[in-house]
Amino acid sequence: MNQFFVYHRTIHFSDTDAAGVVYFANGLSMCHEAYEASIAASGIALQSFFRGTAIAVPITHASIDFYKPMFCGDCIAISLAPSLRSPAEFQIAYDLYFDREDPERTAIARALTTHVCIDSSTRKRCNLSDQLLKWINKV
């Protein structure tokens, strides 16, 4: 995967389940944190972006595969790369890896989210905003 943006994070106790490993849904939540951080780093104001006044960008698909467990205290990095699928749709590929332990950046998890741009009032697909296209094409 071509690296677009890297988000660094420590696994918290609240991220884990009764077995002490990251709960599957929290893996996706961490990927969403990385998405938000990359949007903010590109200069898009998060408050207006997620308010969805003119457009909204819901996630229509999400998946995650885990290859190694993550425990409380682990330092991880999440590398993400968006790609345009159509004028109204993009996807983001995520690689999660141990931040300090693995210079090879071997994936401990991989995720994918698909996002569709819709008009907030009609709920119908519309083209992505210029801001989003600029963010996607930053690669």
Q: Rounded to an integer, what distance in angstroms lies between the CA atom of residue 57 and that of residue 65?
A: 23
Q: CA–CA distance from 20 to each of 15, 16, 70, 74 (Å)?
A: 9, 5, 9, 12
From the list 17, 65, 102, 119, the catalytic residue is 17
Q: Residue holding tokens 């991220």?
A: 15
Give, in degrees to the nearest 5, the angle at Cα 28 between 37 and 11. Answer: 75
Active site (annotated) includes residue 15: no
Identify the CA nearest to 80 among candidates 31, 27, 117. Answer: 31
**Residues assigned a catalytic role:** 17
